[in-house]
Each structure stands twice: as structure tokens, then as C-alpha cells.
Structure 1
Amino acid sequence: MAKCGGCGQFMSGEVARCNGCSGVYHRRCVALPRTGAIAVTWQCPECRKNLATDNKAETPVRGRPMDLPAAEHPSSEDPTSAGRIVLETTEDLTRDIMAELRAFRDNLRSINKDMQLFRADIADIRSTLRDCQENVVRLEDRMVALEGRQSSAPLDSSVNDIIAKLRQDLNDRDQELLCNDVEIANLPETNGENPVHLAVQIGLKLGVKLDERDIVSAERVGARRLVAMDAAGPVPRPRLLAVRLVRRDLREEVLSSARARRGATSAGLGLPAPSQPFYVNERLTAQNRLLFRKAREAGQHHGWKFVWTKRGRTLARNKPGDKAYVIRCEADVDRIFGPQLQ
């Protein structure tokens, strides 16, 4: 550490540097103000005394003492106190820097450990995704193979036969549940009507005495459909009236009377609508109803005289005295009547 060229003490704080000899001085030793900037061309008294002068008094090296705080007066009793202060300050700074470095090193270790865990998690995720991708590829390959096998090889005929038989069994079971039911078509429908009372009146119309206790249920089924337009607006087609009777023999009696009185109308039933013929038939499942319609269309096309239903089965006879054929599926329609209409 540099010493003052005037007092010989170690320098502390701001110093004055000579432009000539590069010596350093305390401000008080060369009579400079305590504050303010020092000119770059400033020279110490030793350098200035060698310059040509005009017989002015030389400035002494030690100037007049100035009032300085006690902390700025160098200690004349212990010349090494400034060195000890600098050493202690340096040690304190060193300890602080070392503590900061240790904390920084610990943080780096923690970050490094977290990064290792993060890399391990990323590796696990990549491995899982790779396994999932392989599984998806295997599943796609299996699906392609199954689709190719299904398209190349037709379904076993025995399987088709089993499926058809199961469907037929289900349909027969559903038809058996309707063994006591009849349906009345083209009967005018009015708001607030009593279906049970209508069924009793129709029975009387057909010559069958029915009591309300003979009827399990009676209701309109199906959706309302529009069939014509008149001045008053669209005319809805009456829905079917489904009637369930308590006994099968009673149902057979109603159907037999309806066949004997074919062409019976709604006159005398107390309905506000104009009189029109109604029809009483067996109630069929949706599959049997569709089969009966196709058989009737095929019979009309090929000139067959009789196509009817009995106990849920569709039957056909070409002309009186011929054999009656039972139609159980659409294949029977093609087999009995010939190819269907296109």
C-alpha cells in the first residue's frame, strides 16, 4: 500500500497524485481542500520548487493542519493500524465471498440432483410412450389381419343358420305373447274415446257378447299419420286399436265372426265420424307383419288367390283345393312365389 510523500503514513481514502513525479499525498499534507476535484496537471511542492519562480515564497511540504474528523487523522502512535484494518476488511470480505460460494455450490448440487431426477422421469415417459406405440402398432396389425380374413373368407354358413334360427325363435316367442290379441284397423279415432267401450261395441256389432271383464287392455297403437287433405285441414289416418282378451278361444270367436261379417262398418257405434268399414285381424309382431305384407304383394303379382295369417303364421294357397304353404321367412317368399319384385 502506498505511503504519503509528506507524512510517510499509509494512504487511505482519496489521494492527490503529482503529475510530475507520480507521488501521492494526503490532501491535508499539500494544503488541498477536503472536497472537490483535483486538477490533472497538479504537481507536488517538490516538483514546483524546481520550476522558475518570481521570488515568491516556496510552499512548504507540510501545510497548515486542517480540522479533520478524528477518523481521518492517521495514528502517529501505531503506524500499522491501517494495515490491520485493511487485513481485517479483506478477511471479512473473503469469508463473505466463501459463504456465498458455498451456498451457490449447494444450490448447484440441488439443481443437478433435480435435473437427474427430471432426466430419469423423461426416460420413463419415453419408455412408456414407446411401449404404447408398439402396442398400438400390434393392435393395428391384428385389426388389419382380422379385416382381411373377414373380407376374404365368408361367414360360415352354420353360423348364419344359427343366427337365423335364434332370430326366428325370438320372433316366435314374441308372437306367442300376442296369442290373445286382435287389432282393429280403419276404425275412426276421436279425442277422449274409451277404447274398452269401443271393443265391447265392436264385439256386439260382430255378434260376440263381450264384457269389460273379458278385456285385459285396449289402446291405440302406432303413430298418427296424415293420409289426405280436405277443406278443414289434414285428415289423420286412424291408428290401430289393439285389444287383448282374457282367453284365446274368445279371440278365435271374434276373428271367426269378423270373417263371417266381412265388410262391417262403424255405423251404430256412436262415433261422430262418418261411417266406414273396419277390419279385425290377428295382432302380429313387426317381423311377421312385414313378412305378411311381402307375401301378399308377391301373391298379387303372381296371381295367387289366398294369402292369410293364422295363429301368427303366414299361409298362402294358389287356388281352392291346392296345398297351403307356410311362409316363415323371406326366403320362403322367393321359393314359393318366385323372385320378388324389384
Structure 2
Amino acid sequence: MPGTKCGGCGRFISTQDGAKCTKCQEIYHRACVGIPTKSGIAQGWRCPECKKHIARDNRTETPVRGSAQSPSADTNKMTAMADSGEPRSPRAGAEGGLSLASSAPLLGLSVAAETNLQMIVVELRAVREEIKGFRKEMEVEMSRLGAALGVCSARVDGLEARLDVLELRATATTVSSGSCNLDRVVEDLRREINDRDQDLLVNDVEVSNLPETKSENPVHIVKAIGRKLGVNFEDCDIVSAERIGGRQLNVTSSAGPTESRPRPLVVRLARRDLRDKLLTGARVRRGATTDDLDMPGPAQRFFVNERLTKVNRQLFRRARDAASLLKWRFVWTKQGRIFARREPGDKAQRIRTEEDFSRIFGTEIEMA
């Protein structure tokens, strides 16, 4: 039976050292199934795997009956019978083969368990070595990280010291110049707001010194003023026309309270070019009066000017007073901006804030 492997240990079996099962036809080493080398093999011999499927009962040939004897005693008995040449019964051979065969799987299991245990030990040792190497690497990295943290900590301390010095300097500078900077910022914001408010009045004009009555029609008055100044207005050209401000009453009159000064008439036109034409006509016909305007009372002079914001109106009034005091000949407004010039040919000076009065008119205006 060359080339055949044992069904128990898996090794090759020679012709003289094999036992064939009569049921599964599997071949085993004699030592694997507990059959002595010099003893014969019983007819109808079955391997331990096939025997364990045989139903057991209380018959005398049941394998359980012979299990009380020790395997070593059966083996010695079979050896003695083989040496003496006595024939042995099939029952004895079967019982001896069963005892030895039943111990073979246990032996194989113990060998396999020992092999697996040795492999586990080897793997655990390898894992232990890897952990040791990893631990050494981590110790090196931790030492490097500690050194780097030390350097970073030193640099942070230096930066904090420099920051403290800069904060002290900034605090000292803020105490000395903080109020000036804040005032400058506030003044800039006020100037920007005033410029934006003035841009919203780009299509408005203000007519002052017009007699005021309760039943007047402001739109009709604006059309009459336009015709007088050479500009014809349609109804769609006038967005709004109304008196603004509070009434100024003269309570010292014996006839009762009377208006000492009429309120200005504010007109918003639909287009900017209409406003420019009306202002140009007012400059050309300087000195126009209320004659031919259907106004009550005697004819009196009226004035058409750009509408200014409250801040610009106050600056314009101060600029005219300063120019009158210091003999400046020209003070005017253009596109909501205030300008002043001392003599013809001089450079025009723009007035935007209170500080511009000292810059333009000098300290004389402050002393006055």
C-alpha cells in the first residue's frame, strides 16, 4: 500500500504496518489504533471512528464491558498471547483494539494542543518584542516633544513680555492722544452724515421772503415765480411745494399777534436741470420782487437759493457774517457746498466745518 496515508496521523503507511477498516476501508498505523506489531488483525475489524457509531446495549460483546480494564493490561495480555502462539479470539482482539483506539484521539488532541500552545507562546513573545520597540520609539518621541515644548514655552514668554511693553506704550499714547483722535473721528462722521443729507436735497430750492396767506396755493406760486424768472413749469415738474418751519409771531403789536417774518417756501423739482435753470434765472434777474405774483401787500424782494441742511445753513450764515466783518466780497453756495473769496481772481475757499473759519478767515474772526 505505497502512497497511502494513515487516517489517524496522516503519515504514509507501509505494507507491514497497516490495519484496514472493514467498514470505511480507511487504513491506519497499528500504533495509531493500538494494535501490537506482532499480533494479527481480527476479521471484521473496524476503526475507532466506525465503532463509536455502533449502538450499545448490555450484550457481553459491548465495548463498554472491556473498558474497565486498563489499556496497559490488555496490551500486555495480547503481547503474551502473541509470544506464546495462543490463538486469540476475535472478541479479545476487538476489545484490545477498541481500548487502544479510544486512547489514540486523545493522544492526537494533546499533541495538537501542545503545538497550538507553543505557537501562541511564540506569537506572544513577538508581540512583546514589538511593544518594547514601540515603547522605545515613544520614549524618544516624548523626549523630542518635551524639548520642543520647552522652546515654544520660552518663545511664548518672550512674546508675552514684548506684548506687555507694547500695551504699556499704547496705553500711554492713548491717554495723551486718545481724546484728540476720538474728536477727530466724531467730526469726520458728522461731516460724512452732513454730506449725505445734502446730497438728498440736490433737486430742492428754497424761496424766502414771500408773503404768506392761509389760502395760498404753493404750486401756483412756484409756477408764477418760474414764469417771472424765465422758466415754465408743468404740474409734473413740481414734486412738492410747502412752507417749512415754525411761525414767527410779533406779540408786541397792539392789533394782536402778527407774523413778523414769513416762512420759507421749499420746492422739490422732478429734475435737477430744472432746479439749475431756476437758480440761473434768479441770478440773472437779481432783485426780483413779488410784483405780478398776485401776492397780498406791497411788492417786496424775494430770494431763490439752494436748499441747505441745518448744519450748512448755519455755516453759510456765519460765513456771510465773517465776510461782512472782514470785507470779503464773495460768499456763495454751489451744489450744496459753501465757498468764500476775498477779491476777484483769488482762490475760492471751501467751508465745511467750524475749524475752516480759523483756517480761512484767520484769528481775526475768533477775536471778533
1:201 aligns with 2:259: no
Matched with 1:74 is: none
Equivalent positions of 1:1-342 (< 5 A) are 155-226=178-249, 232-236=255-259, 237-339=261-363, 340-341=365-366, 342=368
Instruction: Go from structure 1 to structure 2 and tell me whether the alpha carbon gap of 1:228 and 1:315 turns closer, same or farther (over 3 Å shift).
Output: farther
Deviations 1:223-279 (A, max 9, x none): 111359666444411000000001111101100100111111111111222211100
Aligned-residue sequence identity (percent) comes to 54
Cα distance change of structure 1 residues 273 and 230 upon mapping to structure 2, 3 Å threshold: farther
Given the superposition, is the C-alpha separation of residues 326 and 252 from structure 1 closer, same or farther in structure 2, using an over 3 Å criterion?
same
Q: Output the CA distance in 1 between the equivalents of 2:280 and 2:176.
A: 52
Amino acid at match of 1:220: R
> Any stretches of 5+ residues in structure 1 without a counterpart?
1-148
**Which one-letter code corresponds to 2:241 in the other structure?**
A
What is the TM-score with the length of structure 1 in the denominator? Answer: 0.53
Partner of 2:153: none
Q: CA separation of 1:306/1:312 partners in 2, compared to 1, >3 Å: closer, same or farther?
A: same
| Distance change in 2, residues 1:229/1:207 (3 Å) | farther
Displacement of 1:198: 0.7
Question: Once the 2 structures are TM-superposed, how far is the Cα of residue 158 of structure 1 from its aligned partner?
Answer: 2.2
Tell me, what secondary structure is at the counterpart of 2:290? coil
Give the Cα separation in 2 of the matches to 1:264 and 1:235.
25
Following the alignment from structure 2 to structure 1, what is the Cα–Cα distance between the partners of residues 176 and 214? 57
Supply the distance in 1 between the matched residues of 2:280 and 2:267 (Cα, whole angstroms).
16
User: 1:164 is aligned with what amino acid?
Assistant: E
SS of 1:272's equivalent in the other structure is coil
1:257 alignment partner, SS class: helix
- Rounded Cα–Cα distance in structure 2 between residues aligned with 1:153 and 1:273: 62
Amino acid at match of 1:196: V
**Distance in 2 (alpha carbons) for counterparts of 1:189 and 1:229:** 20
Query: Matches of 2:338 and 2:296 in 1, distance apart?
Result: 36
TM-score with structure 2 setting the length: 0.50
Cα offsets for 1:285-327 (capped at 9, x unmatched): 0000001111111111111000011111110010111111111
Q: Deviations over 1:181-232 (max 9, x none)?
A: 0000000000121111111111011111111210000000011113596664
Aligned residues: 193
| Higher helix content, 1 or 2 | 2
What letter is aligned with 2:225? I
**Structure 1 SS opposite 2:233:** coil
Question: For the residues of structure 2 that align with 1:238 and 1:250, how far apart are their CA atoms?
Answer: 25
SS where residue 156 of structure 1 aligns?
helix
CA distance in 1, matches of 2:267, 2:252: 29
Determine the C-alpha separation between the residues in 1 that align with 2:225 and 2:256. 29
Distance 1:228 1:166 in 2: 41
SS in 2 for 1:169: helix
State the alpha-carbon separation in 2 of the partners of residues 297 and 257 from structure 1. 26
**How big is the alpha-carbon RMSD for the aligned residues of Structure 1 and Structure 2?**
2.1
Q: Give the whole-Å Cα distance in 1 for the aligned partners of 2:251 and 2:332.
A: 28
Counterpart CA distance in 2 for 1:284 and 1:192 is 27
Q: Partners of 1:243 and 1:324 in 2: how far apart?
A: 29
User: Tell me, which stretches of 5 or more residues in structure 2 are unaligned?
Assistant: 1-171
Give the secondary-structure state (helix, strand or coil) at the position aligned to 1:333: helix
